[in-house]
Amino acid sequence: MRRSRSRSTSRRLAALLVFGSLGPAAPALAQACCAGGAALTPARLELHEDAAVGIESHALFATGSFSPPGGYVPNPAGSSEIDLEEDLVGSVRFFDRGQVSLLVPYLATDRVVRGQGAFGSGIGDVNLGARWDFLEAGESLHIPGIAVLAGVSTPTGRPPEAATPPLLADATGIGAWQLTGGVALEQTFGHHLVLDLSGLVSQRLPRHVDGIVSDLGLQLFAIAGAAWAFDAGQAIALSVVYTGEQNAVVNGQPVPQSGRGETTAALSGMLPLGDDWRLGVAVLDELQISGLGSNLPAGYGFTLTVLWIWA
């Protein structure tokens, strides 16, 4: 029932990297490239924008969890969890084809296990990401846009060993540096459709706690998204993210059945509010279907984003 801060940190870092800025596209394809990308994630800079800063609000309601073999089990009676998050986000473009993005999260958890409740909050692990587009979406009719991704998550949150037992509701970080890299492919079709397919690999550095050396497993991300941009500037998007994680290693020995995984689907929309503001809304479902996850809680939630833009 305890939500993994390792998982939430990884998801934030992956989204920050994959849905970063694009460089200039062909003029006829610019609208789909801009609005479609912003629908997949509102913090993305559009083609004419130089920087953005804003707030993202997240709420996630756990309905159950996945067992080590992958079976989905609903919450037992008297158990629940609500995860809230406020993120300060910012993005800056450099050399047209690049973008650097920063995300500073504040996390809060309300957790009840068999009638015993706890609430905790605090700053989470700060994420820094960069993206460089070698070939831009729409630049070629036959070859998709190709971008390289890199990022780091810093251990600024409260690690599990420093949290309050027994429910650890005030744990807000994983206590380790996390390094991520990957490749994103994106292409525009006509003036409205954007397709994105990305893959990332993420590794947390070893942790030393009370004489024990632990390594969280290598993480793999597969992300697919499709967005449709309307003539008036609004856009909607559907995305699916699969996260898989290998078994953890403690003192040099793999821990059997400790690997984790989940599959999340999200429907999102973007609405421009004049020239300087943008509103994004998304609903998501961590698919509660046996075989689509392992060793993680699952539920549903939503995200609301407001951005202030400099062009």
pLDDT score for 96: 84
Tens-place pLDDT, residues 184-204:
898 888 888 889 999 999 999
Q: Which residue segment(s) compose the domain that 41 sits in? A: 5-310
pLDDT score for 31: 44
pLDDT at residue 311 greater than cutoff 60: yes
> What value does the mean pLDDT take over residues 63-81?
93
pLDDT at residue 6 greater than cutoff 60: no
- In the chain, the percentage of residues whose pLDDT exceeds 90 is 56
In angstroms, rounded to a whole number, what is the distance separating the alpha carbons of residues 7 and 237?
23
pLDDT at residue 148 greater than cutoff 80: yes
Mean pLDDT of the chain: 85
pLDDT at residue 82 greater than cutoff 80: yes
CATH number at residue 87: 2.40.160.40
Q: Are 46 and 24 in contact (CB under 8 A)?
A: no
* Mean pLDDT comparison of 36-45, 207-216, 285-294, highest-scoring range: 285-294
Judged by average pLDDT, the poorest of 21-25, 72-76, 109-113, 290-294 is 21-25
Tens-place pLDDT, residues 11-40:
555 555 554 332 223 333 344 445 545 545
pTM of the predicted model as reported, rounded to 2 decimal places: 0.86
Structural domains of the chain, count: 1
Angle (CA) 188 194 198, round 5°:
105
pLDDT at residue 172 greater than cutoff 60: yes
Judged by average pLDDT, the poorest of 78-92, 129-143, 220-234 is 129-143
pLDDT at residue 8 greater than cutoff 70: no
